[in-house]
Amino acid sequence: MRTLNLCCGLILFTLLAACVTINIYFPAAAAEKAADKIIDEVWQLRNSDKPALPPAK
């Protein structure tokens, strides 16, 4: 019984630790946003009707 509890506890702990390690420090969403902005400029994807959007301040 105790062994079972210990095992469950260990598994839970490992899972939690695994969850924690998945949380990467690198801001992926912000990076994606920044990349999109740059790619849109380089490949001129936002061009539609306006020649160029004024830089946001």
Q: Which residues bind another protein (CB under 8 A)?
A: 26-28, 30-45, 57
**Rounded CA Rg of the chain:** 23
Identify the sign of the CA torsion 27, 32, 35, 37: negative
Closer residue to another protein in complex, CB, 4/29 = 29
Q: How far apart are CB 40 and another protein at their closest, in Å?
A: 8
Contact criterion met (CB below 8 Å) for 46 and 40: yes
Q: How far apart are CB 3 and another protein at their closest, in Å?
A: 42
Q: How far apart are CB 5 and another protein at their closest, in Å?
A: 40
Only one residue has tokens 């949380």, namely 23
